[in-house]
Amino acid sequence: MPSPTPLLTLASVSPRRRALLGQIGVAHLVSAADIDETVRPGEAAGDYVVRMACAKARAVRERGGELPVLAADTAVVIDGMILGKPAGRAEGIAMLGRLAGRTHRVLTAVALATTAGIAFRVSASEVRLRPVTPAECAAYWESGEPRDKAGGYAIQGAGALFIEHLSGSYSGVMGLPLYETGLLLAAAGIRW
């Protein structure tokens, strides 16, 4: 059986984002966006994720191709600070330790670039982690799971063991909010 015709290009190599698109039946191509993801001085987290998602969509769209481009960006925010992907073991363990026993926000922006321009939506969720011991933080780091995740944990993996409460979008915390994605796709006439 031939594979379905791609409806869009995903500006991400994230297996989680690919799986979420597959979950809603959106056949797609993958083309990673290579952009500078540095937070600007004084930039609010919501502005940052929107800027990143739009920049990723724009970068891939400008390479050419007929398909619309979908991009997303996620930030974990605590104490007004954006926690990105941990740079190494010490930072990853420190991130999880900082989040442990506290509530933080997860913001994910999703952007869709078409011939008509770029549209975007933002998902905001609150996540509370249970207290986590230093030994648990170290063992979790050694599992390899948190190394490429914003905030240093994965809700869809073993990191779920630390999540006491979630208010918002599970798929948004994973990195692609399906409600907001569905709205963007429907507005662009893309069936899911």
Annotated catalytic residues are: 73
* 26 close to 4: Cβ distance less than 8 angstroms: no
Q: Could you tell me the sign of the dihedral formed by the alpha carbons of 175, 180, 186, 189, in that order?
A: negative
Question: Own/partner pairs for 114-117, CB < 8 Å, 24+ apart?
Answer: 114/68, 114/188, 116/188
Please report, for residues 1, 144, 165, the alpha-carbon distance to residue 132 in angstroms, rounded to integers and kept in the order given: 48, 17, 14
Distance CA 1, CA 71 (A): 29
Tokens of 11: 């500006």
Length of the chain: 192
* 65 close to 9: Cβ distance less than 8 angstroms: yes
Q: Which amino acid is at 103?
A: T
